[in-house]
Amino acid sequence: MGKRVSLTQYLVEQQRMHGHIPAQLRLLIEVVARACKRIAISVNKGALGDVLGSAGTENVQGEVQKKLDVICNEVLIEANEWGGHLAAMASEEMDGIYLVPNRFPQGEYLLMFDPLDGSSNIDVNVSIGTIFSVLKKDDAHAGVSEQDFLQPGSKQAAAGYCIYGPQTTLVLTVGDGVAMFTLDREQGSWVLTQDGVTIPEDTREFAINMSNMRHWAPPVKRYIDECLAGKDGPRGKDFNMRWIASMVADVHRILTRGGIFMYPWDKREPDKPGKLRLMYEANPMSFIVEQAGGAATNGHQRILDIQPTKLHERVSVILGSKNEVERVTAYHRDS
């Protein structure tokens, strides 16, 4: 094995050689990574740490919160609030934005996160993760409000996720490609295990919750029907299907070997654009996927170009191997 590169070293080099990340952003990423280490420890303890099951509360979206959802949210806040790099935070598990208390120094960044994505998989010991997105506050005015967060995903300064699976892996982009770091448990450090991650443009693997098929819009139905028709159908090849119900795990597979992921609008809730959240799920994942050479749209528009109108906005998501995402998007245009 060659020389090991740590997360700190990677970030220092990004800062020094490529001028990509100011010191405050480097600190922010290191703090988030440290919080993910703590989360990994709780996730690993499972029943031994009394962290499984429901917390008996609901989040702003009316979803029942698991104990770990609440714990992870607290870990991320506690880790980040005092460092001086943040102006405010927002999370899937909090109704409004969280201002950095006055007793701590104020920074210029805004951090958004889904503290524990794939909540339905916690109790069944299947991979889950933490997703985060970083924006810079427009410094033209003092104070910070929800309005400061409502920037399109193309403005993200950094995005990443940590997957708690057979290995604990941190996947990061600061706008200069995608790097993966594996947690070395003995050393307690993040080690760079892949840089310049690329998603193959073509794939034979799709990920969608097939139980919703009868609710889909015609372009999505057409795309999946054609995949299912296999070698004898219009695509002329057989497709495989995977659905983990943890976006982090589905996206991680796509970064590793290609594929397309879809959580589209469906007619169960016609007024909602989709299930997934724009600010702390779709935007960070779209940034990562694009940085790895893939594509991400809502069927009509590049996700990173969407101007958000509220913090907990939802969005239809189609992302992964470029040619497949373009095909589904073209089917929406034709319909």
Q: Which residues are annotated as a binding site?
A: 92, 114, 116-120, 209, 275, 281
C-beta of 118 vs 284, nearer to ligand AHM: 118
Provide the b/e sequence for 124-134 (b: ≥16 CB within 10 Å). eeebbbbbbbb
Residue 303: CB atoms within 10 Å: 25
What whole-number distance in Å separates Cα of residue 84 and Cα of residue 107?
Answer: 5
Pair 7, 181: CB distance under 8 Å: yes
Choices 29-37, 68-76, 96-104, 113-121 (CB under 5 A): range interacting with Mg ion: 113-121
C-beta of 35 vs 144, nearer to ligand AHM: 35
Output the smallest distance, CB 280 to ligand AHM, in A: 9
**Partner from ligand AHM, Mg ion, none contacting 294, C-beta within 5 to 8 A by type:** none
Binding site for ligand AHM (CB under 6 A): 63, 92, 114, 117-120, 209, 245-247, 263
What whole-number distance in Å separates Cα of residue 181 and Cα of residue 160?
Answer: 11
C-beta of 114 vs 313, nearer to Mg ion: 114
Provide the b/e sequence for 190-200 (b: ≥16 CB within 10 Å). bbbbeeebebb
Output the smallest distance, CB 165 to Mg ion, in A: 16
C-beta of 87 vs 247, nearer to Mg ion: 247
C-beta of 192 vs 245, nearer to ligand AHM: 245
114 binds Mg ion (CB under 5 A): yes
117 binds Mg ion (CB under 5 A): yes
250 binds Mg ion (CB under 5 A): no
Output the smallest distance, CB 255 to Mg ion, in A: 17
| 101: DSSP letter | P
Write out the DSSP string of 55-87.
Answer: EEEE-TTSPEEEHHHHHHHHHHHHHHTTSS-EE
Amino acid at 237: K
Task: Enumerate the known binding-site residues for substrate.
Answer: 117-120, 209, 275
Nearest to 111 by CA among 142, 153, 139, 80: 80
What whole-number distance in Å separates Cα of residue 42 and Cα of residue 54?
Answer: 15
69 binds Mg ion (CB under 5 A): no
Residue nearest to ligand AHM (CB): 247
Choices 114-122, 189-197, 296-304, 314-322 (CB under 5 A): range interacting with Mg ion: 114-122
Q: Where does this chain bind Mg ion (CB under 5 A)?
A: 114, 117
